[in-house]
Amino acid sequence: MNLAYTIQQLVINNMKKTIYLIILLFITSTSFANNLVIGNPSYSSANNTLTFTIKWDNSWRVNGVSGPNNYDAVWVFVKRQPCAANGIWSHALLSTTSNDHSVTGSFNLVADAVSDGMGVFIHRNVSANNQIGSLTSTSSVTIKLSGTYNPALIGSSTNADNFRVIGIEMVYVPQGNFYLGDGRSSNSSNFSAGNTIGAVQITSTTQANGIGAYNNYVSNPVYGCFVPLPSTYPTGYDGFYCMKYEINQQQMVDYLNTLNYTQQAARLAVWGARYPNVTNTYFTNASNYRQMIKVATAGTNNTVPAVFGLDNVWNAYIAAGYLNWQDLTSYLDWSGLRPMTEFEFEKACRGTLNPVAYEFPWGTTAMNTSSGGMNNANTINETMNMVMEGIVHFNWDGGPMRSGFAATSNSNRLQAAATFYGIMEMAGNVVEQCVGGGTGYNFSTFTTVNGDGALTTRGLANVNGWPTDGGTSSGTILKGGGFYTNGGQTAQMMVSDRQFYGGDNRNLSNTRDRNIGGRGVRSY
Ligand SMILES: [Ca+2]
Ligand SMILES: [Ca+2]
């Protein structure tokens, strides 16, 4: 199953009577290319709809019995900007009725509305069962706007407004039982059925009642939440969508380019004296570690936002590190997603299979790396220079690799190092950040509520129940290891490893670590 990469966006800009097409991933000539292409959107004021084309590679819908029974999808959402007075970008809510949206084309795609109107999921319909492959021709999507915006649209004139249609590739993780913990031979911080070494089976009953007190899922109170986890806490039993890849550098650029000047300034200020009105100011540390997000066009102090860009075209394809907890949750609030819990991380990796002690996300204990050895390095087609089962990018302090680097058009789950459901790089590349951890923070109020597209004046997430900062005892936990995790730290990449249960100051709000990124999920 070849799984792929990416986000795409297209901007229609009537402000200067010009149409800009941003298609950074327009590649058709290589089997390694993973790309999502969303065409130039056109707005109908009569119908309050946007129409655009879409296609992406490495799509599937499978009806497995012992294997996955799932599909991939693109999460599509819309931002809108009035022309007047440096108008701010607002999140455009969409109709919550699926029949108000439509898709035409040869791949029988459908658009699913969501109950909070934050976007739509585009995916293969049931007639596409057991089909795997790229969508080689475009489909045409028409989505209906609800007329509601967050924040409210002020000074809007439909003939002059700018629209951005943004897509994120995701993977559906269906509702169902699974095992939490890998049943390893001795208890430490890993999940277990209380003081036994057995894994914990999560069922509909677990979700309906809540998993409850710590002794239902860990061996010692220090390893769990000190408040019982209620039925509103996501255990992973219910279905959810998970981003196919880690957030990449292009996605962070797209996000930064819809913030206002004050929000951009606040995000840059994590590093100290950095400002959006100075060209070549980096959001990442500097032009190093393959992570090179910067101010491409300077803003005007306190009025016109900067335009962010990348040092190199290939940066767009590379996962983004340098994301502290506040950076991650800001991106997820902005995009209508949410962080995942540790329970959901284990579900997304292990799926419905029985646990294997000390397993990695691809379901075995086999693991290989070339420690940074690549073919076509620093290009949009880069791969690791080995084909093995369970290849993972770590033990090389040079920076993350291209999302989906291990997948080819004929790789199987083990060769692609994919999870049970086809999710990529859950181990290595950049560290994942999840909700959870040990005692010291009450994360029991975390729910399936998604972001609403709007951020605080400092550009931060503001969703009830989300941990507000990283660090020790923060309700956040680092999972999966990253590129600089070394050969003596392979345990970090195991599905059930919880050695950071106490939190870690590398994702605290006053710092950014090159090895730490993340991804989002969404309860539909
Ligand atoms: Ca990762
Ligand atoms: Ca918000």
Q: Does the global pTM surpass 0.75?
A: yes
pLDDT at 130: 85
pLDDT at 86: 61
Q: Which amino acid is at 377?
A: A
pLDDT at 5: 27
Ligand nearest to the CA of 400: 1
pLDDT at 85: 54
Q: In the chain, how many H helices and how many E strands?
A: 6, 25
Closest CA to 115 of 136, 90, 102, 96: 96
| Structure tokens that stand for 519 in this block | 């991804």
CB atoms within 10 A of CB 29: 6
Ligand nearest to the CA of 454: 2
pLDDT at 327: 98
Ligand nearest to the CA of 319: 1
Residue 305 CA to ligand 1 center (angstroms) comes to 31
Residue 332 CA to ligand 2 center (angstroms) comes to 9
Residue 324 CA to ligand 1 center (angstroms) comes to 14
Residue 7 CA to ligand 1 center (angstroms) comes to 17
The Cα–Cα gap between 166 and 305 comes to 19
Residue 483 CA to ligand 1 center (angstroms) comes to 9
Secondary-structure breakdown of the chain: helix, strand, coil percentages, each rounded to the nearest 5: 15, 25, 60
Residue 175 CA to ligand 1 center (angstroms) comes to 23
The DSSP bridge partners found for residue 170 are 73, 243
Cβ within 8 Å of residue 436, ≥6 positions away? 225, 341, 342, 343, 443, 475, 476, 477, 501
Neighbours of ion ligand 2 (CB under 5 A): 333, 452, 454, 462
Q: What is the 3-state secondary structure (H, E, C) of 228-249?
A: CECCCCCCCCCCEEEECCCCEH
| Structure tokens that stand for 169 in this block | 């590739």
Determine contact, residues 10/39, Cβ cutoff 8 Å: yes
Ligand nearest to the CA of 247: 1
Residue 257 CA to ligand 1 center (angstroms) comes to 25
The Cα–Cα gap between 524 and 8 comes to 21
Residue 481 CA to ligand 1 center (angstroms) comes to 7
pLDDT at 486: 97
pLDDT at 141: 98
Largest CA distance in the chain: 67
Ligand nearest to the CA of 462: 2
pLDDT at 348: 98
Residue 137 CA to ligand 1 center (angstroms) comes to 31
pLDDT mean by block of 10 residues, the chain; 524 residues: 30 30 26 72 95 93 87 97 81 98 96 98 91 90 96 82 95 98 95 96 98 98 98 98 97 97 98 98 97 98 95 96 98 98 98 97 97 96 94 98 89 92 97 97 98 98 98 98 98 98 98 98 92
Residue 477 CA to ligand 1 center (angstroms) comes to 13
Residue 464 CA to ligand 2 center (angstroms) comes to 9
Residue 101 CA to ligand 1 center (angstroms) comes to 34
Residue 397 CA to ligand 1 center (angstroms) comes to 15
Residue 421 CA to ligand 1 center (angstroms) comes to 15
pLDDT at 27: 25
Ligand nearest to the CA of 482: 1
The DSSP bridge partners found for residue 445 are none
Residue 261 CA to ligand 1 center (angstroms) comes to 31
Residue 246 CA to ligand 1 center (angstroms) comes to 6
Closest CA to 320 of 89, 483, 490: 483
Ligand nearest to the CA of 519: 1
Ligand nearest to the CA of 485: 1
Residue 144 CA to ligand 1 center (angstroms) comes to 35
Residue 269 CA to ligand 2 center (angstroms) comes to 20
The helix (H) or strand (E) run that includes residue 374 is: strand 374-375
The Cα–Cα gap between 245 and 4 comes to 8
Ligand nearest to the CA of 403: 1
The helix (H) or strand (E) run that includes residue 251 is: helix 249-256
Give the rounded distance of the alpha carbon of 268 from its chain centre.
21
The Cα–Cα gap between 500 and 437 comes to 7
